[in-house]
Each structure stands twice: as C-alpha cells, then as structure tokens.
Amino acid sequence: MKNSVYFFKSEMKRPISELVEYPEYFTYSLESRIKPRYMRVASKGIRCSLDWFLNCSDQRFEERMRGDFIEGDALGPSFTMGGKLQMPGRQLVSDDEEEDTDDEVLYRRTVMLW
C-alpha cells in the first residue's frame, strides 16, 4: 500500500482527494494493473479518472486505448437548483419566455366564442 501511495503522488502527480473519492485504487495490483495502464494512458495524453482506466476489463481498456468508440454520459434532461430545465437538443424551457398576456388569452377565447 505504501508503494501504491508513493506511485500515486510521485509518478501520477494526482491530488490525494482522488484517493478519497476512489479508495478502490488500493485493491488493484500496482505492478500488474496500475502502472501499466497509467503508462499507456499518460503516453497518449489522456486525462481521466482512476475509475475510468482501472475499473474495466483488459478488453475494455484496450478498446478505450484504440478509441474505437466515444464514451459519454447519456444525454438526458438536466436541472440545476434555481436554474432552468434543459432538454437535450432543445432550447431552455422557462416560465420567463414570451408568453401571451392574460388580455391576449382572454381576447382569443372571446373571439372563439363568436
């Protein structure tokens, strides 16, 4: 474990907060998994989470290194507290957008009755 921390700090030069977020790092073999995969990722200039390059099969890791596909979060609605709802591929949905005034709605309903 001491060697894993040393490699993490001296070679990988990552903040300790990442170890707090991903303690599973210590379950992987330094010599057979962490070092080889880190060297491949670093040589390609890929910036990624520990989880991304450690928590996958060898086959999946190789696919990621070849770049055969693009991984990403699935697009879906997103919401920020106090913000506006965003739907993928659409403009912001908001109460503030141009809406008919009460007078316009009343006029339209009145005209429909005639």
The pLDDT tens digits for 91-112 are: 444 455 456 666 666 655 565 5
The pLDDT tens digits for 47-73 are: 899 999 999 999 999 999 987 555 554
The pLDDT tens digits for 71-85 are: 554 445 555 555 555
Task: Specify whether the backbone of 82 is left (phi greater than 0), alpha (psi in -120 to 50) or beta.
Answer: left
- Rounded Cα–Cα distance for residues 39 and 73 (Å): 25
Predicted pLDDT at 61: 94
Could you tell me what percent of the chain has a pLDDT over 70? Answer: 59
Q: Tell me the whole-structure pTM to 2 decimals.
A: 0.57
